[in-house]
């Protein structure tokens, strides 16, 4: 099997001239301006993945930061699950995960690299339900 990368995503060449889009696989390239705009959002969302309980006060602080962003609630949800979650989820699985906060430059570098590689779904993910519940609580705190 041969993989071809096109602007619309990765496609598998299965035989002859047939190209089948790989399920859920897309690559994203962001401008420096987009990265700069996203960084506070990525950083705020990464706090949901620390190895400490997420308090109501922490959710309010995160909601305040997210409300300052130019993104809609729908866009924020996509950023959380498509950009931050694939990079940060393993911290929730770790026996001794990061509890003190993610290094922002390393977080940004990891998210950008993951986006450029492309996301691949569906994956079984035991942490997604936990984050989905936090998102439900968080989204009710966001200003419309």
Task: Encode the chain (144 residues) as per-residue pLDDT tens digits.
Answer: 333 333 334 333 333 433 333 334 556 788 899 999 999 999 999 999 988 889 999 999 999 999 999 999 999 999 999 999 999 988 887 766 667 788 899 999 999 998 988 765 555 577 888 899 999 999 999 976
Integer Cα distance of 128 and 88 in angstroms: 11
Domain ranges, ordered by start, for the chain:
28-139
DSSP-derived secondary structure letter, 143: -
Q: Which of 68, 87, 88, 66 is CA-nearest to residue 77?
A: 66
In this prediction the pTM is 0.76
Integer Cα distance of 65 and 36 in angstroms: 14
Integer Cα distance of 92 and 5 in angstroms: 32
Q: pLDDT value at position 117?
A: 85
Q: pLDDT value at position 129?
A: 86
Q: pLDDT value at position 25?
A: 52
Q: How many residues does the chain have?
A: 144
């Amino acid at each position: 099997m041969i993989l071809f990368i096109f602007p619309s995503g990765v496609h598998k060449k299965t035989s002859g001239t047939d190209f089948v889009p790989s399920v859920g696989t897309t690559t994203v390239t962001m401008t420096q301006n987009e990265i700069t705009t996203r960084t506070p959002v990525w950083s705020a969302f990464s706090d949901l993945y620390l190895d400490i309980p997420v308090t109501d006060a922490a959710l309010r602080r995160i909601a305040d930061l997210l409300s300052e962003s130019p993104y809609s609630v729908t866009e924020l949800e996509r950023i959380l699950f498509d950009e931050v979650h694939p990079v940060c989820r393993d911290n929730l699985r770790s026996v001794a995960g990061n509890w003190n906060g993610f290094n922002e430059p390393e977080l940004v570098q990891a998210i950008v690299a993951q986006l450029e590689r492309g996301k691949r779904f569906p994956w079984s993910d035991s942490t997604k339900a936990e984050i989905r519940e936090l998102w439900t609580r968080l989204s009710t705190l966001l200003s419309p």
